[in-house]
Amino acid sequence: MMMKRSIQRYVPLASLSLALWLAWGCEGNDTAGADLPPVSVSLVTKTSSGEVESTTSARRVVVFDEADKCVLNYSFVPGSGALSLKSGTYRMVTLSVPAGLGGLPDAGTTAGITPDLALSFDAKASITPFSLSELTEETLSAASVYTATLLPATSLLSLRVSGLPEGSSAKFTLLGMYASVGLDGTYAGSLDYPVSASGETVCFPTPGAATLSYSVDGGEPRELPIGRALEAGNRLTLELAWGEERQEIVIRQTTVTDWIPGNGGGEAGSAE
């Protein structure tokens, strides 16, 4: 069954803004927008903490017209990007493009791109930190600055297991996390994803309270309900312990904190 949920924001969202800094036209000018010269649009990206990005990693801006037809799929490095568009109203979204991210055509290609285009990681690629801005409507009529705040679309799951019998090991899988996120911020699909038994794993969020499956020394898998959802931009830390009496793993403590990709990036689990 397909599951969908809009992208969760873990900090107050500074809305994407289009700061118009030149007035257009003159008194009595009723020329249609299509007849005006192209509008120059400078591109600015910010982190979830509100700082202007200084990374050398490429970002991608995707632009849709009023009919939601993709008119631009442009790659740029923060601080140096600019667009040229006809005057009009558009919907615009900006994202990071980490290695292994699938679904988005190469820069310059617009065919097949829709606002709900599903972005996921290739089957043999590990999920890595991925950021996405809000898809916003922008009206262009003069030289402008488009500012996109990139927020995490992924989350971090951290496990610590204590008390396992000497020589024993455990394997864990996160059950039913979302498999993709659309350019419009809508999550969809379902995927069981292996996670590190001792460390941090970057994951997509879960549609509700998360559940782990685990096995000890290759034994019969058991399910471990976490009781908390894994949300975009959050680090969910689980302190787990082996219960000798019942021969099972139990949760000792659950902690949820904010997570900014790059500040403890996490160990990617294998998707094989």
- The answer to whether position 65 is within a domain reads yes
Domain boundary among 152, 180, 214: 152
Domain boundary among 104, 133, 152: 152
Reduced to 3 states (helix: H, G, I; strand: E, B; else coil), residue 35 is: helix
- CB neighbour class for 262 (10 Å; exposed up to 12, middle 13-18, buried from 19): exposed
- CATH code where residue 42 lies: 2.60.40.2100
- CB neighbour class for 178 (10 Å; exposed up to 12, middle 13-18, buried from 19): buried
Structural domain span for residue 201: 155-258
Q: Which of 154, 173, 160 is nearest to 269 (CA)?
A: 173
- The answer to whether position 264 is within a domain reads no
Q: What is the length of the chain?
A: 272
Total structural domains in the chain? 2
Which residues have CB under 8 Å from 262's CB, separation 6+? 129
Q: Are residues 145 and 48 in the same domain?
A: yes
- The answer to whether position 263 is within a domain reads no
**Residues 24-49 as b or e (16 or more Cβ within 10 Å = b):** beeeeeeeeeeebeebebbbbbbbbe
Question: 259: how many CB neighbours lie within 10 A of its CB?
Answer: 26
- Mean pLDDT across the stretch 248-269? 74
Distance CA 221, CA 242 (A): 15
Confidence grade of residue 195 (pLDDT, cut at 50, 70, 90): very high
- The answer to whether position 267 is within a domain reads no
- The answer to whether position 113 is within a domain reads yes
Q: Are residues 179 and 104 in the same domain?
A: no
Amino acid at 220: E
User: Higher pLDDT residue, 204 or 271?
Assistant: 204
- The answer to whether position 7 is within a domain reads no
Q: Are residues 23 and 116 in the same domain?
A: yes
- CATH code where residue 210 lies: 2.60.40.2630
- Mean pLDDT across the stretch 244-267? 78
Q: Are residues 64 and 186 in the same domain?
A: no
Least confident of 28-42, 143-157, 238-252: 28-42
Q: Give the DSSP H/E element, type plus range, for residue 78.
A: none
Q: In this structure, are residues 189 and 113 in contact, taking their beta carbons and an 8 Å threshold?
A: no
Give percent of the chain with pLDDT exceeding 90: 72
Q: Are residues 91 and 184 in the same domain?
A: no
Q: Are residues 135 and 160 in the same domain?
A: no
Domain boundary among 152, 184, 201: 152
Q: Are residues 181 and 231 in the same domain?
A: yes
Confidence grade of residue 169 (pLDDT, cut at 50, 70, 90): very high
- Mean pLDDT across the stretch 92-110? 96
Distance CA 75, CA 202 (A): 25
Q: Are residues 17 and 137 in the same domain?
A: yes
- The answer to whether position 170 is within a domain reads yes
